[in-house]
């Protein structure tokens, strides 16, 4: 039997397939489609200190081979996640989860990390530094190496959990940001977050999304994500969780060959709720065709 297991910062996963934050909620909806315990793990909805309604609607626009969203980190807030969502997750998911956190200041990232650190269910904290720094003109933390390092170092001091910094692709040098995070104490890197995109309704002559622009994701961005994972894997020594347009077992293997130790599936979950299940089931067949005995042996072979 082929060995699908991988390890992230000492945490063994049965396979490398992880639904991405924002595309899987807290797993409750998907558990009615299949037993989600077949997953390696899942990254739950991005969590902030206070509850957020999110951005104005409409928030979603369809594209060829993808979608644009501007949800705006809608979530119930850290208190509700700890007191309600995590206990609920424990009733149907028996593996460590990845806790995705967002923040609009360094202090907010630290607060969320500290609060989640006491949860045994949380295996990894994924720090989304694509959020705007409201104390420095609204520039994303992830677009500046110094700001990325500042968040990383502060969160590193606040928790004993492994921290993975989730990076935006909308930067001049993704490797410079990744190296800054590694130097500041990151245990791993998650990439890529969404590209920046836009749609216009030609009948109304107005942008489809209320915020005008949003995050472009889906199958169309896979080559860009793959290239960035490859570049970052050559620049850092810490593990990478690759994501961006992943939609098949072949995509998972390609992403791992580029340097990812595990792979997140995002927009494809919204198109097909069985996507992760189908990918996991297809992996042994594809591995056999490619004469791969252990998935972890192919990480970075390209």
Per-residue pLDDT of the chain (302 residues; tens, 9 = 90+): 899 999 999 999 999 999 999 999 999 999 999 999 999 999 999 999 999 999 999 999 999 999 999 999 999 999 999 999 999 999 999 999 999 999 999 999 999 999 999 999 999 999 999 865 545 554 688 889 999 999 999 999 999 999 999 999 999 999 999 999 999 999 999 999 999 999 999 999 999 999 999 999 999 999 999 999 999 999 999 999 999 999 999 999 999 999 999 999 999 999 999 999 999 999 999 999 999 999 999 999 99
Residues 42, 27: Cα–Cα separation, whole Å: 8
List the catalytic residue out of 63, 112, 131, 181. 131
* 63 is a catalytic site residue: no
Are residues 244 and 218 in contact, defined by beta-carbon separation less than 8 angstroms? Answer: no
**Whose CA is closest to 59, among 300, 270, 293, 299?**
270
Residues 287, 69: Cα–Cα separation, whole Å: 34
Residue 151: per-residue pLDDT: 97
Residue 130: per-residue pLDDT: 84
Q: Where are the beta strands (DSSP E) in the chain?
A: 6-8, 11-13, 17-19, 60-63, 66-69, 97-101, 122-128, 132-133, 139-140, 163-166, 188-191, 195-198, 200-201, 206-207, 213-217, 240-243, 262-265
What domains, with CATH codes, occur in the chain?
A: 6-55+72-195+218-298 (3.20.20.70)
């Amino acid at each position: 039997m082929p060995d699908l297991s991988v390890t992230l910062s000492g945490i063994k996963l049965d396979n490398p397939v992880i639904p991405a934050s924002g595309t899987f909620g807290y797993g409750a909806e998907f558990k009615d489609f299949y037993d989600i315990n077949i997953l390696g793990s899942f990254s739950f909805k991005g969590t902030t200190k206070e509850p957020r309604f999110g951005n104005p609607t409409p928030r979603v626009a369809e594209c060829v081979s993808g979608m644009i969203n501007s949800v705006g980190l809608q979530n119930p807030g850290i208190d509700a996640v700890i007191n309600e969502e995590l206990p609920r997750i424990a009733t149907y998911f028996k593996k460590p989860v990845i806790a995705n956190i967002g923040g609009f200041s360094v202090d907010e990232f630290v607060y969320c990390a500290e609060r989640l650190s006491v949860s045994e269910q949380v295996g990894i904290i994924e720090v989304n530094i694509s959020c705007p720094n409201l104390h420095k003109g609204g520039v994303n933390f992830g677009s500046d190496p110094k700001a990325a390092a500042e968040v990383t170092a502060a969160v590193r001091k606040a928790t004993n959990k492994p921290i993975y910094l989730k990076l935006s692709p909308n930067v001049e040098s993704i490797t410079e940001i990744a190296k800054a995070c590694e130097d500041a104490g990151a245990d791993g890197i998650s990439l890529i977050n969404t590209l920046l995109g836009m749609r216009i309704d030609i009948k109304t002559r107005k942008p489809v999304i209320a915020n005008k622009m949003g995050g472009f994701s889906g199958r169309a961005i896979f080559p860009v994500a793959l290239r960035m994972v490859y570049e970052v894997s050559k620049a850092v020594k810490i593990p990478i969780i690759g994501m961006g347009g992943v939609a098949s077992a072949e995509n998972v293997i390609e992403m791992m060959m580029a340097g990812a130790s595990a792979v997140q599936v995002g927009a494809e979950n919204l198109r097909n709720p069985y996507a992760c299940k189908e990918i996991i089931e297809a992996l042994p067949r594809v591995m056999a065709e490619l004469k791969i005995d252990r998935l972890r042996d192919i990480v970075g072979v390209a």
